[in-house]
A and B are shown apart, each in its own frame.
Chain A
Amino acid sequence: MKNTIIRISTAGSVDDGKSTLIGRLLYDSKAIFADQYEALEELSRRRGQDGIDLAMLTDGLRAEREQGITIDVAYRYFATPKRKFILADTPGHIEYTRNMVTGSSTSNVSVILVDARHGVVEQTRRHFFIASLLGIPHIVFCINKMDLVDYAEEVFENIKSGLTKLSEEITKADLYFVPTSALLGDNIVNGSDKMPWYKGDTLMQILENIDISDDHSHVDARFPVQMVIRPQSAEHGDYRGYAGRVAGGSFKSGDLVTILPSGISTKIKSIDTFSMDVVEALAPMSITITLEDDIDVGRGSMIVKQDDKKPVVGQELEIVLCWLNSRELRVGGTYSIRHATNDARCIVQDIKHKIDIATFQQIEDNKQIGMNDIARVSIKTTKPLVYDKYSENRVTGSIILIDENTNETVGAGMIV
């Protein structure tokens, strides 16, 4: 499948001008409608502001408007003739790390704002680290508020080289740098005549042209079974299909496959969809697979190709865990765990170390894991899971932990 949808997440702190940047992106790409614009004009006027406050476009909830903050992930949609964009706007304020993790877990691109006046601050390092941790393949740094530093090339170059150096420690993502003024529209959608020294693309041009065709894993074939389809009708009496979404590689009829965790081998009889037009199924297509042999396959099973590298089947996992809840992680505690289409329970065996996301250092002497903390932990599950490393596959390498008392999602884990 050719990728024509690109998922973007944005990170920046309250004062970096992130909402203004998104407002500008929507406004200059004509994704803002007249009635929205009028509502904003009216609101800005009521508040006695000069002109339009583009930031208000993205601040939707009552609490946000009243307090002038962004409290949760908001999704925005716009399209150019080249692509459809899904933008997750995540707040960058310190206590909202959980929102950034939530908003960017499926992103192709992370757009990180840096205030040109302040350069690389702790917040920037934090956002950069989380984007790297989540394995976001492309990161764009907008060095924003260039208008407040006289559009100086030197300022831009200094920040750029600082970030490039930092990247060596933490990521293999490909990086882009753009000098911008979201407020005045420089290098967002349109170019800038204030910065003739910048020869690169505008933010929009970068987002339109980034090659994301390899962002889904196309290496080893993975098919987590969601459910079994049995029509129980006269017409399709014997039909037994395994419904799911391809999580990696490709499948076609005739492929020799293995069902995990049972290890039984068989052959794909057909790949079915409603329109019956699938020759070869790639990630992230939803399909139904039928098999030559009548064997035990159900939700939580994984179908893999015999010739591909096998995933791990095991009960002891090491994960990097982002903690998302105000109740601390309990060593020895039991949680419900979800992995791909599988459900199990697990015990947290050990906290290896905590990670300081601003310095990227391991913290050995403090093992209290609270909201927004990131730690390396080992867990043991009640039944075998079929998994890959997160760095190899974001679908089969990720898990969530659920508190069994409150049913809240309390942890996001990446298998190492």
Chain B
Amino acid sequence: MNTHSLQHLKELESESIYILREVVAQFERPAILFSGGKDSIVVSHLAKRAFYPARIPFPLVHIDTGHNFPETILFRDDFVNKMDVDLSVGSVQESIDSGRVTEEVGRNASRNVLQTVTLLDMIRENKFDCMVGGARRDEEKARAKERIFSHRDEFGQWDPKKQRPELWNIFNGRKNLGEHFRVFPISNWTELDVWNYIEQEKIEVPSIYFAHERDVFVRDGVLMAVTDFIKQLADEPVTRKKIRFRTVGDATCTGAIESLADTVARVIEEVAGLRTTERGTRADDKRSETAMEDRKRTGYF
């Protein structure tokens, strides 16, 4: 699997670099949406390659829910340093404190949906006209239908029925003032492609992607980590397990899987054999049948 994948990774890399260069050619103030997860890490590395030997000509933007695994934030600050790139942080906590949004309450309260407001405020304040994201089409059924250059109206909304036809490799980033684009350079990559690329290019990712021991409990069939932000109930006993995370998001809605994969090579082996999708552990997607489509329409990542 690995020997043949070098060839196709080269083609995927080439396509992503082409897309990132189109971003710089077509927009005035682009930025990379950086979550600290492997996909936005890979996008940042691709940007490094696209503009080498120049610096990455735009900043990273992190929308911080305040509900992070500490490992992710440590990783982020170190990453920004090593990559020699600028970072702007939008804080959901500040949006809550200033009354822009109201915290959810109840058992499955999460700041996942609130992020959209912080993100759109951030875009307006900084006059960003293009946000580059690490979303992939294999992740989720609404994302499978989104263009690589995806238009957002002045309210940040995505309209799946009004998507511009996207032909050949000619991207149309024209827009009116106040509108912006989301661009997804790794649309055509799969979870396995991302991991193979991480292995091939020796890219560092946060430690929580690898098997480690942690206190966890089960909620709605998903393994959740015990953190300060989410409290297990009486009927949700805590056990200590060897786990890892397949996606890195807000700690309140990112589930773990039991795993012994403690190196990139073992993760690749594991992912190749897994029978559930990557976002199968994301509580935010399970809110309804069309949870992602509904959030995207209002401006989510």
Contacts and interface: CB of A to CB of B under 8 A. Distances in A.
Interface of A: 1-5, 33-36, 43, 60-63, 65, 71-77, 79, 81-84, 86, 98-99, 101-102, 105-106, 226-227, 229-233, 235-236, 239, 241, 243-245, 272-275, 284-286, 288, 299, 324, 336, 338-341, 394-395, 398-400, 402, 407-409, 412
Given A4-B8, A81-B1, A99 B165 contact: yes
Nearest to B288: A62
B240 interface: no
A35 B277 contact: yes
Contacts of A84: 5, 8, 190, 193
A241 B49 CA distance: 13
Contacts of B14: 245, 284-286
A241 B50 CA distance: 12
Interface in B141-190: 141-142, 144-145, 160-161, 163-170, 172, 174-176, 187-188, 190
Contact of A63 (B15, B52, B161, B169): B161
9 contacts: A71-B161, A226-B25, A227-B24, A231-B53, A273-B49, A286-B17, A286-B50, A407-B176, A409-B164
A3 B170 CA distance: 21
Contacts of B142: 60-61
Of the listed residues B12, B137, B167, B293, the one surrounded by the most CB atoms of chain A closer than 10 A to its CB is: B167
Interface of B: 1, 4-5, 7-8, 10-15, 17-18, 21-22, 24-25, 48-55, 137-138, 141-142, 144-145, 160-161, 163-170, 172, 174-176, 187-188, 190, 192-193, 274-277, 280, 289-290, 293-294
A152 to B, nearest CB: 37
A233 B55 contact: yes
B137 A75 contact: yes
B215 to A, nearest CB: 25
Contact of B165 (A43, A98, A227, A239): A98
A400 B172 contact: yes
B197 to A, nearest CB: 12
A1 B11 contact: yes
A320 B7 CA distance: 35
Contacts of B187: 75
Contacts, number: 176
Given A229-B54, A299-B25, A1 B10 contact: yes
B235 to A, nearest CB: 24
Contacts of A227: 21, 24-25
Contacts of A2: 7
Contacts of B274: 33
Given A60-B144, A245-B14, A407 B175 contact: yes
Nearest to B292: A60
Contact of A5 (B12, B25, B280): B12
Contacts of A5: 8, 11-12
A233 B51 CA distance: 13
**Top 5 A-B pairs ranked by shortest CB distance?**
A60-B141, A274-B49, A286-B17, A231-B54, A407-B174
Given A274-B48, A284-B14, A398 B54 contact: no
Contact of A36 (B24, B169, B170, B277): B277
Contacts of A339: 170
Contacts of A235: 53
Nearest to A99: B165
A61 B48 contact: no
A339 B145 CA distance: 25
A239 B52 CA distance: 11
A189 to B, nearest CB: 18
A238 to B, nearest CB: 11
Contact of A284 (B11, B137, B167): B11
Given A226-B25, A227-B21, A274 B52 contact: yes
Given A84-B8, A227-B21, A398 B167 contact: yes
A112 to B, nearest CB: 19
A285 B167 CA distance: 19
Contacts of B164: 408-409
A201 B34 CA distance: 46
A357 B248 CA distance: 49
Contacts of B175: 407
B172 A402 contact: yes
Contacts of B52: 229, 272-274, 288
B172 A409 contact: yes
Contacts of A409: 164-167, 172
Contacts of A244: 21
Nearest to B174: A407
Contacts of A233: 53-55
B18 A77 contact: no
A65 B160 contact: no
A233 to B, nearest CB: 7
Contacts of A241: 53
Nearest to B51: A229
A58 B151 CA distance: 23
A9 B12 CA distance: 18
Nearest to B149: A409
Nearest to A70: B145
B89 to A, nearest CB: 26
A77 B15 contact: no
A345 to B, nearest CB: 12
Contact of B275 (A34, A75, A231, A341): A34
Given A74-B145, A81-B4, A341 B25 contact: yes
B180 to A, nearest CB: 13
A242 to B, nearest CB: 11
